[in-house]
C-alpha cells in the first residue's frame, strides 16, 4: 500500500460510508413504496370480498408501480455493487463516461435534497483511462459536492467527459454561483491528495462557471 492509500484511507472510508448510507436510504424508499402499493392491493382485494367491484385497470396500474419500484431498487443495488467493486484494483482501465454516470447516479439523492439537477452529457465516443477507480470516484464526488454548492440560481450542474489534444478531462459546467464561492477554498488538501494520486489537475474557471478536471491517461508506475 502506497502513501496515497495510507493518507486517503480515513476520508475514503468516510466517503464510502456517506454513499452507502445514501444508497440504503434510497432502497428503503423503494421498499416503502412497494409496501404501500402492495398493501393497497390487499386493501382493494379485501373490499372486493365485501362486495365492492374491483377495477382491473386499477390493479394493472398498481402492479405496474410495484414492478417499476423493483426495477428502481435493482438499479440502485447494481450501482451499489459497481461502487463497492471500485475498491478492488488500485489501478485499472475504466471508461470515463461510465464512471461519471455512476457518480451522478450515486449523487442523485444529495442533489435532489438540495434542489439541484445533475445534467449528464454522454461522451460522443468512449474515453478509456487507466487509473485508481476508487480515488477517481472519491475525487468526482468532492467535485460534484462543491459544484452543487456553486450551482447558483440555475440549480443545474452539467457533467461531461471529453477527449482533448492534451488528454481526457471532465468538466462540471453551468456553475453560475462559482464567482461567489470563497476564493482559494477549493481544491483543499483532501482534493489535492487525490489529484496527486491520480496525476490529475483541477482548474477552477470562475468566468466560464466551470470546474475542469484534467486526468492522466495512465497512472501505472
Partner 1 sequence: MRVLLVDDEEELVSALAERLSIRGIKADWVTSGEDALKRIQSETYDLALLDVKLPRMSGLKLKKLLQEKNPELKFIFFTGHGSENDFKVGSAEAGAQYYLAKPVNIEVLVQKMNEVLEK
Count of residues in contact with partner 1, rule CB under 8 A: 24
Q: Which of 9, 13, 14, 25 binds partner 1 (CB under 8 A)?
A: 25
> What's the closest the beta carbon of residue 2 comes to partner 1, in angstroms?
33
Whichever of 45 and 220 has its CB closer to partner 1, that residue is 45
* Omega prior to 207 cis, within 30 of 0: no
Q: Which of 201, 150, 157, 208 is nearest to 177 (CA)?
A: 150
Count of Cβ atoms closer than 10 Å to residue 38 Cβ? 15
112 binds partner 1 (CB under 8 A): yes
> What's the closest the beta carbon of residue 111 comes to partner 1, in angstroms?
9
- Give yes or no for a contact between 152 and 176, defined as CB atoms under 8 angstroms apart: yes
Whichever of 28 and 203 has its CB closer to partner 1, that residue is 28
113 binds partner 1 (CB under 8 A): yes
Piece of the chain touching partner 1 by CB under 8 A; list 81-89, 100-108, 113-121, 175-183:
113-121
21 binds partner 1 (CB under 8 A): yes
Q: Which of 113, 181, 119 is nearest to 154 (CA)?
A: 119
Helices 9-49 and 56-85 pack at an angle, to 10 degrees, of 170
Piece of the chain touching partner 1 by CB under 8 A; list 40-48, 118-126, 177-185, 203-211:
40-48
Q: Strand order in 201-205's β-sheet?
A: 117-121, 156-164, 167-173, 210-214, 201-205
- Give yes or no for a contact between 178 and 59, defined as CB atoms under 8 angstroms apart: no
86 binds partner 1 (CB under 8 A): no
13 binds partner 1 (CB under 8 A): no
Whichever of 52 and 78 has its CB closer to partner 1, that residue is 52
67 binds partner 1 (CB under 8 A): no
How distant, in Å, are the alpha carbons of 114, 123, 183, 186, 215 from that of 132?
29, 20, 29, 22, 11
> What's the closest the beta carbon of residue 47 comes to partner 1, in angstroms?
7
Residues that bind partner 1 (CB under 8 A): 21, 24-26, 28-29, 31-37, 39-40, 43, 47, 62, 65, 69, 112-115
Amino acid at each position: 500500500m502506497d502513501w496515497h492509500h495510507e493518507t486517503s484511507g480515513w476520508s475514503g472510508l468516510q466517503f464510502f460510508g456517506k454513499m452507502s448510507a445514501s444508497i440504503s436510504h434510497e432502497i428503503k424508499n423503494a421498499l416503502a413504496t412497494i409496501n404501500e402499493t402492495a398493501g393497497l392491493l390487499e386493501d382493494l382485494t379485501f373490499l372486493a370480498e365485501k362486495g365492492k367491484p374491483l377495477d382491473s385497470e386499477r390493479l394493472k396500474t398498481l402492479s405496474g408501480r410495484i414492478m417499476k419500484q423493483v426495477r428502481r431498487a435493482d438499479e440502485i443495488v447494481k450501482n451499489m455493487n459497481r461502487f463497492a467493486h471500485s475498491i478492488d484494483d488500485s489501478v485499472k482501465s475504466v471508461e470515463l463516461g461510465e464512471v461519471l454516470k455512476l457518480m451522478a447516479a450515486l449523487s442523485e439523492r444529495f442533489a435532489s435534497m438540495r434542489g439541484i439537477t445533475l445534467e449528464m452529457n454522454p461522451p460522443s465516443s468512449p474515453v478509456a483511462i487507466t487509473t485508481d477507480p476508487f480515488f477517481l470516484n472519491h475525487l468526482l464526488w468532492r467535485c460534484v459536492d462543491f459544484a452543487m454548492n456553486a450551482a447558483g440560481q440555475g440549480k443545474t450542474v452539467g457533467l461531461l467527459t471529453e477527449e482533448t489534444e492534451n488528454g481526457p478531462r471532465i468538466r462540471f459546467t453551468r456553475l453560475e454561483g462559482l464567482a461567489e464561492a470563497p476564493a482559494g477554498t477549493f481544491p483543499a488538501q483532501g482534493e489535492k491528495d487525490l489529484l496527486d494520486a491520480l496525476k490529475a489537475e483541477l482548474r477552477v474557471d470562475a468566468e466560464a462557471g466551470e470546474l475542469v478536471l484534467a486526468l492522466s491517461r495512465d497512472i501505472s508506475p
